């Protein structure tokens, strides 16, 4: 029986075309005619013809049969121009992506996951850096089987279900004909092999959990949220695979005196009213040691004194931030009779007649007069 369809003409290739030329022609046509791209019924029929032609001409035996005058699709009972027996869905994937979409058995050895731990650091350690020991609980290589996952002297066995391929194939019918699909083997989970004698220590995983101690260097200038990467110190992978990375996230504990704002430090210096008025020198214990703070006479509440380069080292860059000392003037809340008398006398000497005792009305005339005079002087 002479074939009624010229498969070479359908693909647009010559009768002496090579296998690569046939594949190239099919890929080009499949991208143009695939139903997902062009759902027109006539185009779908054309796509079936192109696919049938490719099935015949890409298979050396079927092509030879066709060249001798037979029709392999008709002989195999396939629908004319459709998908004949043995046609794989990977041919369509090959047409669209330029490669064969096969998986094969997957490796039992895989990279481990990254791990994250948090480490508390006090402010002084963050400012000057430190070396600390850190205990981590992660997966390590099983010392009994050395990561193989099998008992002593045992070996993995080829999976009987998939024959070591790691996947099983299944033929399904669709509007395009018969399509061959593949999925991971349920017996071996896609590995292509089974472990009949797993290691009693790790249960065949090739790794166990263990606590170990690491020495970590904290660089000067770290802040809460800073992460330090330790390459290869994370979880060991299944099958004794390479370890992931360990990330150490820094958490700065609160300090009783200093607070941090970016690379600067802040603290509060409480002064009695008299010391703020007269001025004084105060010894302050900073993170760098003792410092003498000079408070000028007449210091006001809320003023701040800057100590240069007494802050936090810049993690990215050079130099250090500053230390700001905020003055908090404390007003006495309880006065005895003599103290009150002296304060009132001082108020009179300074012309502050608006100072009044409890239950009296302050006389503010002199105050308003001074404000008025100052305002006039400013306009003149």
Give dist(CA 321, CA 195) in Å, integer.
60
Within the chain, where are the H helices?
Answer: 7-11, 19-33, 41-58, 60-67, 72-75, 89-97, 123-128, 273-278, 337-349, 365-379
- DSSP label at 118? E
Give dist(CA 176, CA 102) in Å, integer.
21
Give the gyration radius of the chain's Cα atoms.
43
Residues making up the annotated binding site for Zn(2+) are 142, 145, 159, 162, 185, 188, 199, 202
Residues making up the annotated binding site are 142, 145, 159, 162, 185, 188, 199, 202
User: Using an 8 Å Cβ cutoff, are 218 and 131 in contact?
Assistant: yes
Give dist(CA 269, CA 286) in Å, integer.
12
Give per-residue burial for 40-49: e unless 16+ CB within 10 Å, then b: eeeeeebbbb
Nearest to 246 by CA among 122, 137, 146: 137
Give dist(CA 323, CA 303) in Å, integer.
14
């Amino acid at each position: 029986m002479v074939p009624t369809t010229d498969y070479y003409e359908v693909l647009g290739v010559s009768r002496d075309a090579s296998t690569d030329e046939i594949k190239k022609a099919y890929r080009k046509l499949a991208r143009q005619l695939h139903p997902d791209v062009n759902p027109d019924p006539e185009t779908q029929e054309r796509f079936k013809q192109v696919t049938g032609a490719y099935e015949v001409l890409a298979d050396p035996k079927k092509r030879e049969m066709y060249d001798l005058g037979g029709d392999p699709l008709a002989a195999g009972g396939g629908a004319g121009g459709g998908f004949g027996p043995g046609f794989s869905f990977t041919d369509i994937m090959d047409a669209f992506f330029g490669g064969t979409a096969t998986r094969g058995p997957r490796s039992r050895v895989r990279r481990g996951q990254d791990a994250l731990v948090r480490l508390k650091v006090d402010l002084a350690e963050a400012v000057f850096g430190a070396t600390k020991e850190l205990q981590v609980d992660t997966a390590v290589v099983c010392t009994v089987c050395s990561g193989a996952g099998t008992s002593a002297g045992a070996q993995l066995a080829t999976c009987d279900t998939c024959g070591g391929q790691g996947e099983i194939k299944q033929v399904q019918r669709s509007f395009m004909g018969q399509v061959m699909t593949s999925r991971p083997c349920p017996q071996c989970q896609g590995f292509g092999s089974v472990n009949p004698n797993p290691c009693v220590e790790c249960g065949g995983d090739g790794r166990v959990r263990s606590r170990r101690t690491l020495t970590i260097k904290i660089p000067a200038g770290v802040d809460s949220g800073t992460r330090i990467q330790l390459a290869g110190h994370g979880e060991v992978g299944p099958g004794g695979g390479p370890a992931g990375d360990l990330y150490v996230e820094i958490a700065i504990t609160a300090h009783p005196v200093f607070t941090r704002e970016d690379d600067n430090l802040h603290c509060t210096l409480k002064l009695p009213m008299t010391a703020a008025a007269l001025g004084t020198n105060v010894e302050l214990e900073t993170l760098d040691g003792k410092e003498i703070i000079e408070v000028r006479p007449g210091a006001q509440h809320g003023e701040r004194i800057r100590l240069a380069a007494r802050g936090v080292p810049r993690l990215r860059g050079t130099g250090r931030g500053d230390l700001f000392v905020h003055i908090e003037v404390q007003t006495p809340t309880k006065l005895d009779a003599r103290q009150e008398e002296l304060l009132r006398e001082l108020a009179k000497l300074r012309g502050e007649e608006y100072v009044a005792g409890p239950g009296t009305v302050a006389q503010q005339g002199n105050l308003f007069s001074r404000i008025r005079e100052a305002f006039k002087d400013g306009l003149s």
